Amino acid sequence: MTSTQTRASATPQLAFPPGFVWGSATAAYQIEGAATEDGRGPSIWDTFSHTPGRIVDGTTGDHACDHYHRLDEDLDLIADLGLGAYRFSIAWPRIVPSGSGAANPAGLDFYRRLVDGLLERGVTPVATLYHWDLPQPLQDAGGWTNRETAHHFAEYAHIVGTALGDRVPMWTTLNEPWCSAFLGHASGVHAPGVTDNEAALTAAHHLLLAHGLGTAALRSALPGEASVAITLNLAVVRAASDSAADRDAARHVDGLANRLFLDPVLSGRYPADLLDDLRHITDWSFVRTGDESIINAPIDQLGVNYYSPTLVAAPTDELRARVAGGWVNDPQAAEGPTPYPGTDLALSIPQAGPYTAMNWRVEAPSLTELLLRVHRDHPDLPLMITENGAAFDDVVAADGAVDDLDRLDYLRDHVAAVHAAIEQGVDVRGYFVWSLLDNFEWAWGLSKRFGIVHVDFATGRRTLKRSAHWYREVVADNGW
Ligand code: IFM
Protein backbone atom coordinates (compact mmCIF):
# COMPACT_ATOMS: atom_id res chain seq x y z
CA MET A 1 0.00 0.00 0.00
CA THR A 2 1.41 3.42 -0.91
CA SER A 3 1.00 6.27 1.54
CA THR A 4 -2.15 7.48 -0.17
CA GLN A 5 -4.00 4.23 -0.73
CA THR A 6 -7.03 3.66 1.42
CA ARG A 7 -8.94 0.66 2.63
CA ALA A 8 -11.48 1.68 0.02
CA SER A 9 -8.88 1.74 -2.74
CA ALA A 10 -11.03 -0.47 -4.94
CA THR A 11 -13.33 2.56 -5.43
CA PRO A 12 -13.54 3.33 -9.15
CA GLN A 13 -11.89 6.39 -10.59
CA LEU A 14 -13.77 9.64 -10.14
CA ALA A 15 -13.18 12.75 -12.22
CA PHE A 16 -14.70 16.02 -11.02
CA PRO A 17 -15.88 18.76 -13.38
CA PRO A 18 -13.21 21.20 -14.57
CA GLY A 19 -13.00 24.17 -12.20
CA PHE A 20 -14.30 22.21 -9.20
CA VAL A 21 -13.01 24.02 -6.10
CA TRP A 22 -10.99 21.98 -3.60
CA GLY A 23 -10.40 23.62 -0.26
CA SER A 24 -10.24 23.31 3.45
CA ALA A 25 -11.93 25.32 6.18
CA THR A 26 -11.27 26.73 9.65
CA ALA A 27 -12.90 29.28 11.97
CA ALA A 28 -11.36 32.19 13.84
CA TYR A 29 -12.04 31.25 17.46
CA GLN A 30 -11.10 27.65 16.82
CA ILE A 31 -7.59 28.36 15.53
CA GLU A 32 -6.40 31.93 16.04
CA GLY A 33 -5.55 32.26 19.73
CA ALA A 34 -4.18 35.75 20.53
CA ALA A 35 -7.50 36.36 22.25
CA THR A 36 -6.54 39.68 23.81
CA GLU A 37 -4.04 40.98 21.26
CA ASP A 38 -4.07 43.98 18.93
CA GLY A 39 -7.31 45.38 20.22
CA ARG A 40 -9.48 42.24 19.94
CA GLY A 41 -12.46 42.50 22.28
CA PRO A 42 -14.04 39.60 24.14
CA SER A 43 -16.61 37.40 22.45
CA ILE A 44 -19.30 35.15 23.87
CA TRP A 45 -16.94 32.22 23.34
CA ASP A 46 -14.27 33.81 25.53
CA THR A 47 -16.83 34.23 28.28
CA PHE A 48 -18.31 30.77 27.81
CA SER A 49 -15.01 28.88 27.58
CA HIS A 50 -13.74 30.63 30.70
CA THR A 51 -16.83 29.60 32.65
CA PRO A 52 -16.01 26.49 34.72
CA GLY A 53 -17.81 23.37 33.56
CA ARG A 54 -18.71 24.60 30.09
CA ILE A 55 -15.86 22.98 28.14
CA VAL A 56 -15.39 19.24 28.53
CA ASP A 57 -11.60 19.34 28.95
CA GLY A 58 -11.45 22.77 30.60
CA THR A 59 -9.55 24.34 27.71
CA THR A 60 -10.27 27.69 26.01
CA GLY A 61 -9.54 29.25 22.63
CA ASP A 62 -7.03 31.66 24.21
CA HIS A 63 -4.18 30.00 22.32
CA ALA A 64 -5.80 27.24 20.22
CA CYS A 65 -3.50 26.67 17.20
CA ASP A 66 -1.79 30.04 17.67
CA HIS A 67 -2.61 30.68 14.02
CA TYR A 68 -2.52 34.43 14.64
CA HIS A 69 1.24 34.20 15.23
CA ARG A 70 1.89 31.35 12.81
CA LEU A 71 0.09 32.86 9.87
CA ASP A 72 2.94 32.51 7.38
CA GLU A 73 3.60 28.91 8.36
CA ASP A 74 -0.08 28.05 7.93
CA LEU A 75 -0.26 29.85 4.60
CA ASP A 76 2.70 27.78 3.42
CA LEU A 77 0.90 24.66 4.60
CA ILE A 78 -2.18 25.59 2.57
CA ALA A 79 -0.01 26.20 -0.48
CA ASP A 80 1.91 22.97 0.09
CA LEU A 81 -1.36 21.03 0.02
CA GLY A 82 -2.14 22.64 -3.33
CA LEU A 83 -5.55 23.85 -2.13
CA GLY A 84 -7.48 25.92 -4.64
CA ALA A 85 -9.35 27.77 -1.91
CA TYR A 86 -9.22 28.37 1.82
CA ARG A 87 -12.32 29.13 3.87
CA PHE A 88 -11.65 31.09 7.05
CA SER A 89 -13.83 33.18 9.33
CA ILE A 90 -13.30 36.74 10.41
CA ALA A 91 -13.56 37.46 14.13
CA TRP A 92 -16.13 40.22 14.60
CA PRO A 93 -14.51 41.14 17.97
CA ARG A 94 -11.19 41.78 16.20
CA ILE A 95 -12.83 44.12 13.68
CA VAL A 96 -15.38 45.87 15.91
CA PRO A 97 -14.30 45.08 19.47
CA SER A 98 -17.36 46.59 21.10
CA GLY A 99 -19.72 45.07 18.55
CA SER A 100 -20.81 48.39 17.08
CA GLY A 101 -19.07 51.60 16.19
CA ALA A 102 -15.51 52.16 15.08
CA ALA A 103 -13.40 49.52 13.36
CA ASN A 104 -10.10 48.35 14.79
CA PRO A 105 -7.42 48.88 12.10
CA ALA A 106 -5.14 46.18 13.57
CA GLY A 107 -7.92 43.61 13.23
CA LEU A 108 -8.48 44.47 9.58
CA ASP A 109 -4.72 44.33 8.98
CA PHE A 110 -4.54 40.74 10.20
CA TYR A 111 -7.15 39.60 7.66
CA ARG A 112 -5.52 41.73 4.94
CA ARG A 113 -2.28 39.83 5.57
CA LEU A 114 -4.15 36.54 5.51
CA VAL A 115 -5.95 37.34 2.27
CA ASP A 116 -2.88 38.79 0.56
CA GLY A 117 -0.85 35.77 1.68
CA LEU A 118 -3.43 33.44 0.09
CA LEU A 119 -3.55 35.41 -3.15
CA GLU A 120 0.26 35.47 -3.38
CA ARG A 121 0.19 31.68 -3.13
CA GLY A 122 -2.53 31.32 -5.74
CA VAL A 123 -5.23 30.30 -3.25
CA THR A 124 -8.74 31.77 -3.45
CA PRO A 125 -9.87 33.33 -0.12
CA VAL A 126 -13.39 32.42 1.00
CA ALA A 127 -14.44 34.58 3.96
CA THR A 128 -17.14 33.81 6.52
CA LEU A 129 -18.30 36.82 8.51
CA TYR A 130 -19.83 35.07 11.49
CA HIS A 131 -18.69 31.75 12.89
CA TRP A 132 -20.22 32.16 16.35
CA ASP A 133 -17.92 34.69 18.05
CA LEU A 134 -20.41 37.44 18.89
CA PRO A 135 -18.78 40.44 20.61
CA GLN A 136 -19.58 40.17 24.32
CA PRO A 137 -20.90 43.77 24.58
CA LEU A 138 -23.66 42.82 22.13
CA GLN A 139 -24.50 39.78 24.22
CA ASP A 140 -24.71 42.05 27.25
CA ALA A 141 -27.42 43.94 25.34
CA GLY A 142 -29.39 40.74 24.60
CA GLY A 143 -27.27 39.16 21.87
CA TRP A 144 -29.22 37.45 19.10
CA THR A 145 -32.47 37.87 21.00
CA ASN A 146 -32.10 41.62 20.42
CA ARG A 147 -33.12 42.71 16.92
CA GLU A 148 -30.47 45.45 17.00
CA THR A 149 -27.75 42.78 16.77
CA ALA A 150 -28.83 42.07 13.18
CA HIS A 151 -28.31 45.74 12.30
CA HIS A 152 -24.91 45.76 13.99
CA PHE A 153 -23.99 42.69 11.94
CA ALA A 154 -24.85 44.57 8.75
CA GLU A 155 -22.61 47.49 9.82
CA TYR A 156 -19.78 45.04 10.50
CA ALA A 157 -20.38 43.32 7.13
CA HIS A 158 -20.09 46.67 5.39
CA ILE A 159 -16.82 47.47 7.16
CA VAL A 160 -15.26 44.16 6.19
CA GLY A 161 -16.66 44.24 2.65
CA THR A 162 -15.21 47.70 2.14
CA ALA A 163 -11.79 46.68 3.47
CA LEU A 164 -11.41 43.31 1.73
CA GLY A 165 -13.97 43.33 -1.08
CA ASP A 166 -11.39 44.05 -3.76
CA ARG A 167 -9.54 40.80 -3.01
CA VAL A 168 -12.03 38.26 -1.61
CA PRO A 169 -14.29 36.84 -4.34
CA MET A 170 -16.44 34.55 -2.17
CA TRP A 171 -18.31 35.51 0.98
CA THR A 172 -20.46 33.70 3.50
CA THR A 173 -22.57 35.71 5.91
CA LEU A 174 -23.27 33.18 8.67
CA ASN A 175 -21.91 29.76 9.46
CA GLU A 176 -24.56 27.32 10.70
CA PRO A 177 -27.12 29.65 12.27
CA TRP A 178 -28.89 26.52 13.57
CA CYS A 179 -26.00 26.01 15.99
CA SER A 180 -25.93 29.66 17.10
CA ALA A 181 -29.67 29.61 17.73
CA PHE A 182 -30.34 26.15 19.12
CA LEU A 183 -27.08 24.93 20.64
CA GLY A 184 -26.56 28.46 21.96
CA HIS A 185 -30.07 29.14 23.29
CA ALA A 186 -32.06 25.87 23.56
CA SER A 187 -29.70 23.08 24.69
CA GLY A 188 -27.22 25.71 25.89
CA VAL A 189 -24.14 23.58 25.15
CA HIS A 190 -22.69 26.45 23.08
CA ALA A 191 -22.22 30.10 23.95
CA PRO A 192 -24.03 32.01 25.29
CA GLY A 193 -25.31 28.92 27.15
CA VAL A 194 -28.97 29.93 27.34
CA THR A 195 -31.71 27.28 27.74
CA ASP A 196 -34.90 29.01 26.69
CA ASN A 197 -36.86 27.79 23.67
CA GLU A 198 -38.48 31.11 22.89
CA ALA A 199 -35.09 32.81 23.05
CA ALA A 200 -33.75 30.18 20.63
CA LEU A 201 -36.50 30.84 18.08
CA THR A 202 -36.07 34.59 18.47
CA ALA A 203 -32.33 34.22 17.96
CA ALA A 204 -32.88 32.09 14.85
CA HIS A 205 -35.01 34.83 13.32
CA HIS A 206 -32.57 37.61 14.15
CA LEU A 207 -29.68 35.57 12.77
CA LEU A 208 -31.60 35.15 9.52
CA LEU A 209 -32.43 38.84 9.52
CA ALA A 210 -28.71 39.53 9.99
CA HIS A 211 -28.02 37.35 6.97
CA GLY A 212 -30.47 39.36 4.86
CA LEU A 213 -29.30 42.76 6.06
CA GLY A 214 -25.67 41.62 5.91
CA THR A 215 -26.06 40.39 2.33
CA ALA A 216 -27.37 43.80 1.26
CA ALA A 217 -24.60 45.59 3.17
CA LEU A 218 -21.94 43.35 1.67
CA ARG A 219 -23.25 43.80 -1.85
CA SER A 220 -23.18 47.58 -1.45
CA ALA A 221 -19.44 47.31 -0.68
CA LEU A 222 -18.37 44.48 -3.01
CA PRO A 223 -17.63 44.44 -6.72
CA GLY A 224 -20.56 43.12 -8.75
CA GLU A 225 -18.91 39.79 -9.53
CA ALA A 226 -18.35 38.82 -5.87
CA SER A 227 -20.32 35.81 -4.70
CA VAL A 228 -22.38 35.93 -1.48
CA ALA A 229 -23.71 32.85 0.30
CA ILE A 230 -24.92 31.55 3.63
CA THR A 231 -23.66 28.27 5.06
CA LEU A 232 -26.22 25.95 6.65
CA ASN A 233 -25.58 22.70 8.49
CA LEU A 234 -28.34 20.79 6.77
CA ALA A 235 -29.60 17.50 8.12
CA VAL A 236 -30.79 14.22 6.67
CA VAL A 237 -33.65 13.52 9.06
CA ARG A 238 -35.16 10.04 9.13
CA ALA A 239 -38.10 8.62 11.03
CA ALA A 240 -37.25 5.70 13.30
CA SER A 241 -40.25 3.78 11.96
CA ASP A 242 -43.00 4.11 9.41
CA SER A 243 -45.58 4.97 12.05
CA ALA A 244 -47.52 8.19 11.55
CA ALA A 245 -46.19 9.50 14.88
CA ASP A 246 -42.54 8.90 13.98
CA ARG A 247 -42.99 10.37 10.53
CA ASP A 248 -44.54 13.45 12.08
CA ALA A 249 -41.62 13.69 14.49
CA ALA A 250 -39.23 13.60 11.53
CA ARG A 251 -41.25 16.32 9.81
CA HIS A 252 -40.91 18.53 12.88
CA VAL A 253 -37.16 18.04 13.23
CA ASP A 254 -36.66 18.51 9.49
CA GLY A 255 -38.55 21.78 9.90
CA LEU A 256 -36.23 23.00 12.66
CA ALA A 257 -33.00 21.74 11.15
CA ASN A 258 -33.58 22.52 7.48
CA ARG A 259 -36.72 24.35 6.45
CA LEU A 260 -36.63 27.03 9.16
CA PHE A 261 -33.51 28.29 7.37
CA LEU A 262 -33.87 27.16 3.76
CA ASP A 263 -37.42 28.40 3.26
CA PRO A 264 -37.04 32.06 4.28
CA VAL A 265 -33.58 32.40 2.71
CA LEU A 266 -34.56 30.84 -0.61
CA SER A 267 -38.31 31.34 -0.79
CA GLY A 268 -39.04 34.27 1.52
CA ARG A 269 -41.38 32.54 3.96
CA TYR A 270 -41.19 30.48 7.11
CA PRO A 271 -42.66 26.96 6.91
CA ALA A 272 -46.29 27.11 8.03
CA ASP A 273 -46.27 23.68 9.68
CA LEU A 274 -43.36 24.65 11.91
CA LEU A 275 -44.90 27.98 12.86
CA ASP A 276 -47.97 26.02 13.94
CA ASP A 277 -45.96 23.36 15.81
CA LEU A 278 -44.29 26.00 17.96
CA ARG A 279 -47.16 28.35 18.81
CA HIS A 280 -47.19 26.99 22.36
CA ILE A 281 -43.67 28.41 22.69
CA THR A 282 -43.94 31.70 20.84
CA ASP A 283 -46.44 33.88 19.00
CA TRP A 284 -43.67 34.73 16.49
CA SER A 285 -44.32 38.45 17.01
CA PHE A 286 -40.60 39.08 16.59
CA VAL A 287 -41.11 38.38 12.86
CA ARG A 288 -42.11 41.78 11.53
CA THR A 289 -43.79 42.59 8.26
CA GLY A 290 -41.13 42.68 5.55
CA ASP A 291 -38.54 40.61 7.45
CA GLU A 292 -39.02 37.53 5.29
CA SER A 293 -38.35 39.57 2.12
CA ILE A 294 -35.15 40.92 3.68
CA ILE A 295 -34.04 37.38 4.55
CA ASN A 296 -34.87 36.33 0.98
CA ALA A 297 -32.07 38.54 -0.43
CA PRO A 298 -30.72 36.74 -3.52
CA ILE A 299 -27.64 34.63 -2.88
CA ASP A 300 -25.20 33.27 -5.44
CA GLN A 301 -24.76 29.85 -3.90
CA LEU A 302 -25.59 27.88 -0.79
CA GLY A 303 -22.89 26.56 1.50
CA VAL A 304 -23.73 23.11 2.85
CA ASN A 305 -22.01 21.66 5.92
CA TYR A 306 -22.64 17.99 6.43
CA TYR A 307 -21.39 15.31 8.80
CA SER A 308 -23.96 12.65 9.73
CA PRO A 309 -27.66 11.70 9.44
CA THR A 310 -30.24 12.14 12.23
CA LEU A 311 -32.82 9.59 13.39
CA VAL A 312 -35.91 10.76 15.21
CA ALA A 313 -38.93 9.20 16.87
CA ALA A 314 -42.08 10.40 18.52
CA PRO A 315 -41.51 10.14 22.24
CA THR A 316 -43.14 7.37 24.20
CA ASP A 317 -42.74 7.03 27.96
CA GLU A 318 -40.35 4.16 27.37
CA LEU A 319 -38.25 6.18 24.94
CA ARG A 320 -38.15 9.17 27.27
CA ALA A 321 -36.98 6.95 30.12
CA ARG A 322 -34.24 5.41 27.97
CA VAL A 323 -33.03 8.82 26.82
CA ALA A 324 -33.11 10.13 30.39
CA GLY A 325 -31.06 7.08 31.34
CA GLY A 326 -28.32 8.09 28.93
CA TRP A 327 -29.46 6.24 25.80
CA VAL A 328 -27.98 8.71 23.36
CA ASN A 329 -24.86 8.78 21.26
CA ASP A 330 -23.87 12.26 22.35
CA PRO A 331 -23.21 12.46 26.11
CA GLN A 332 -23.85 16.20 26.05
CA ALA A 333 -27.33 15.58 24.75
CA ALA A 334 -28.02 13.21 27.63
CA GLU A 335 -27.42 15.83 30.25
CA GLY A 336 -29.46 18.84 29.29
CA PRO A 337 -32.35 20.11 27.25
CA THR A 338 -32.61 19.15 23.60
CA PRO A 339 -31.64 21.61 20.88
CA TYR A 340 -35.01 21.03 19.18
CA PRO A 341 -37.74 23.21 20.70
CA GLY A 342 -41.06 21.44 20.71
CA THR A 343 -39.55 18.02 21.31
CA ASP A 344 -42.72 16.97 22.94
CA LEU A 345 -43.12 16.03 19.27
CA ALA A 346 -39.80 14.36 18.58
CA LEU A 347 -36.73 12.78 20.09
CA SER A 348 -33.36 12.33 18.50
CA ILE A 349 -32.33 8.73 19.07
CA PRO A 350 -29.12 6.70 18.71
CA GLN A 351 -28.21 5.07 15.46
CA ALA A 352 -26.14 2.07 14.55
CA GLY A 353 -22.42 2.64 13.95
CA PRO A 354 -19.78 3.01 12.69
CA TYR A 355 -19.19 6.25 14.55
CA THR A 356 -16.63 9.02 14.56
CA ALA A 357 -15.05 10.17 17.82
CA MET A 358 -18.04 12.53 18.18
CA ASN A 359 -20.29 9.45 18.21
CA TRP A 360 -21.73 10.63 14.91
CA ARG A 361 -22.84 7.85 12.58
CA VAL A 362 -20.69 7.49 9.45
CA GLU A 363 -22.92 7.12 6.41
CA ALA A 364 -21.57 8.78 3.28
CA PRO A 365 -24.50 8.06 0.90
CA SER A 366 -26.66 10.29 3.09
CA LEU A 367 -24.70 13.25 1.72
CA THR A 368 -25.79 12.35 -1.81
CA GLU A 369 -29.36 12.06 -0.50
CA LEU A 370 -29.14 15.52 1.06
CA LEU A 371 -27.72 17.16 -2.06
CA LEU A 372 -30.39 15.58 -4.25
CA ARG A 373 -33.08 16.85 -1.91
CA VAL A 374 -31.78 20.43 -1.90
CA HIS A 375 -31.41 20.29 -5.68
CA ARG A 376 -34.94 18.93 -6.09
CA ASP A 377 -36.36 21.76 -3.99
CA HIS A 378 -34.09 24.49 -5.43
CA PRO A 379 -32.94 23.28 -8.86
CA ASP A 380 -31.18 26.49 -9.95
CA LEU A 381 -29.12 26.94 -6.82
CA PRO A 382 -25.37 26.23 -7.02
CA LEU A 383 -24.11 24.36 -3.95
CA MET A 384 -20.75 24.29 -2.24
CA ILE A 385 -19.79 21.78 0.44
CA THR A 386 -18.28 24.30 2.85
CA GLU A 387 -17.54 21.70 5.54
CA ASN A 388 -17.28 17.95 5.76
CA GLY A 389 -14.94 15.89 7.87
CA ALA A 390 -14.54 13.75 10.94
CA ALA A 391 -12.96 13.61 14.37
CA PHE A 392 -11.14 10.43 15.26
CA ASP A 393 -8.81 9.58 18.12
CA ASP A 394 -5.59 9.92 16.19
CA VAL A 395 -2.48 8.08 17.28
CA VAL A 396 0.87 9.78 16.81
CA ALA A 397 3.55 7.18 16.06
CA ALA A 398 7.03 7.34 17.53
CA ASP A 399 8.29 8.96 14.31
CA GLY A 400 5.52 11.58 14.52
CA ALA A 401 3.41 10.14 11.68
CA VAL A 402 -0.38 10.10 11.99
CA ASP A 403 -1.84 7.24 10.00
CA ASP A 404 -5.48 8.38 10.12
CA LEU A 405 -7.06 5.78 7.89
CA ASP A 406 -10.50 6.21 9.45
CA ARG A 407 -10.55 9.89 8.53
CA LEU A 408 -9.14 9.19 5.10
CA ASP A 409 -11.87 6.66 4.40
CA TYR A 410 -14.55 9.01 5.74
CA LEU A 411 -13.34 11.81 3.47
CA ARG A 412 -12.95 9.58 0.46
CA ASP A 413 -16.44 8.15 0.81
CA HIS A 414 -18.00 11.58 1.29
CA VAL A 415 -16.13 13.07 -1.66
CA ALA A 416 -17.44 10.10 -3.68
CA ALA A 417 -20.94 10.90 -2.38
CA VAL A 418 -20.57 14.46 -3.70
CA HIS A 419 -19.48 13.06 -7.04
CA ALA A 420 -22.53 10.79 -7.13
CA ALA A 421 -24.75 13.83 -6.64
CA ILE A 422 -22.99 15.72 -9.44
CA GLU A 423 -23.48 12.73 -11.73
CA GLN A 424 -27.21 12.92 -10.96
CA GLY A 425 -27.35 16.55 -12.02
CA VAL A 426 -26.69 18.49 -8.81
CA ASP A 427 -24.67 21.65 -9.34
CA VAL A 428 -22.00 21.24 -6.66
CA ARG A 429 -19.15 23.67 -7.24
CA GLY A 430 -16.64 22.70 -4.56
CA TYR A 431 -15.69 20.78 -1.44
CA PHE A 432 -13.95 22.05 1.70
CA VAL A 433 -12.55 19.59 4.23
CA TRP A 434 -13.27 20.40 7.85
CA SER A 435 -10.72 21.05 9.04
CA LEU A 436 -7.30 22.12 7.90
CA LEU A 437 -5.96 21.95 11.46
CA ASP A 438 -6.86 20.14 14.65
CA ASN A 439 -8.46 22.91 16.66
CA PHE A 440 -10.71 24.05 19.51
CA GLU A 441 -13.85 21.97 19.00
CA TRP A 442 -16.21 24.25 20.95
CA ALA A 443 -17.73 22.52 24.02
CA TRP A 444 -15.31 19.63 23.47
CA GLY A 445 -12.32 21.92 23.71
CA LEU A 446 -9.08 20.52 22.37
CA SER A 447 -10.21 16.93 22.97
CA LYS A 448 -11.62 16.23 19.49
CA ARG A 449 -9.38 16.34 16.44
CA PHE A 450 -10.93 17.11 13.04
CA GLY A 451 -7.77 18.26 11.24
CA ILE A 452 -6.05 16.72 8.26
CA VAL A 453 -3.03 18.39 9.82
CA HIS A 454 -2.12 17.34 13.34
CA VAL A 455 -1.40 20.12 15.80
CA ASP A 456 0.67 19.50 18.91
CA PHE A 457 -1.04 22.03 21.16
CA ALA A 458 1.93 22.15 23.55
CA THR A 459 4.52 23.06 20.92
CA GLY A 460 2.33 24.27 18.06
CA ARG A 461 4.04 21.81 15.72
CA ARG A 462 2.03 20.95 12.59
CA THR A 463 2.29 17.50 10.96
CA LEU A 464 0.45 16.43 7.84
CA LYS A 465 -1.65 13.36 8.59
CA ARG A 466 -1.99 10.62 6.02
CA SER A 467 -5.38 12.09 5.06
CA ALA A 468 -3.64 15.36 4.15
CA HIS A 469 -1.20 13.56 1.86
CA TRP A 470 -4.14 11.78 0.25
CA TYR A 471 -6.13 15.01 -0.11
CA ARG A 472 -3.18 16.74 -1.79
CA GLU A 473 -3.28 14.09 -4.53
CA VAL A 474 -7.04 14.38 -4.90
CA VAL A 475 -6.73 18.13 -5.33
CA ALA A 476 -3.89 17.77 -7.83
CA ASP A 477 -5.79 15.15 -9.86
CA ASN A 478 -9.24 16.77 -9.52
CA GLY A 479 -10.45 13.41 -8.20
CA TRP A 480 -8.76 10.05 -8.38
O1 IFM B 1 -16.01 22.47 14.41
C2 IFM B 1 -17.29 22.61 13.89
C3 IFM B 1 -17.38 23.86 13.06
O4 IFM B 1 -17.02 24.99 13.78
C5 IFM B 1 -18.79 24.05 12.56
N6 IFM B 1 -19.27 22.87 11.91
C7 IFM B 1 -19.10 21.61 12.58
C8 IFM B 1 -17.66 21.44 13.02
C9 IFM B 1 -17.48 20.10 13.74
O10 IFM B 1 -18.29 20.04 14.86
Query: pLDDT truncated to tens, each residue of the chain (480 aa)?
Result: 334 445 544 567 999 999 999 999 999 999 999 999 999 999 999 999 999 999 999 999 999 999 999 999 999 999 999 999 999 999 999 999 999 999 999 999 999 999 999 999 999 999 999 999 999 999 999 999 999 999 999 999 999 999 999 999 999 999 999 999 999 999 999 999 999 999 999 999 999 999 999 999 999 999 999 999 999 999 999 999 999 999 999 999 999 999 999 999 999 999 999 999 999 999 999 999 999 999 999 999 999 999 999 999 998 888 777 777 766 655 445 456 888 998 777 777 888 889 999 999 999 999 999 999 999 999 999 999 999 999 999 999 999 999 999 999 999 999 999 999 999 999 999 999 999 999 999 999 999 999 999 999 999 999 999 999 999 999 999 999
Does the C-beta of 49 come closer than 6 Å to ligand 1? no
* Given 32, 292, 363, 387, the catalytic residue: 387
With the most atoms of ligand 1 within 8 angstroms of its CB, the residue from 31, 385, 434 to mutate is 434
At residue 48's C-alpha, the angle toward residues 44 and 49, to 5°, is 120
**225 in catalytic set:** no
Does the C-beta of 178 come closer than 6 Å to ligand 1? no
Q: Tell me which residue has its CA closest to atom 10 in ligand 1.
A: 441
**Å from CA of 106 to ligand 1 middle:** 27
The pLDDT value recorded for residue 1 is 36
**Beta-strand relationship, 21-25 and 428-434:** parallel
* Second CATH level (architecture) for the domain 3-234+358-477: Alpha-Beta Barrel (3.20)
Does the C-beta of 385 come closer than 6 Å to ligand 1? no
Main-chain dihedrals φ then ψ at residue 235, nearest 5 degrees: -120, 145
Q: Which residues pair with 303 in a beta bridge?
A: 231, 384
Does the C-beta of 406 come closer than 6 Å to ligand 1? no
**176 in catalytic set:** yes
The pLDDT value recorded for residue 350 is 83
Does the C-beta of 441 come closer than 6 Å to ligand 1? yes
Tell me, what DSSP letter sits at residue 447?
Answer: G
**Beta-strand relationship, 383-388 and 428-434:** parallel
Of 23, 17, 44, residue with least CA distance to 128: 23
**Å from CA of 20 to ligand 1 middle:** 23
**Å from CA of 27 to ligand 1 middle:** 9
The pLDDT value recorded for residue 4 is 45
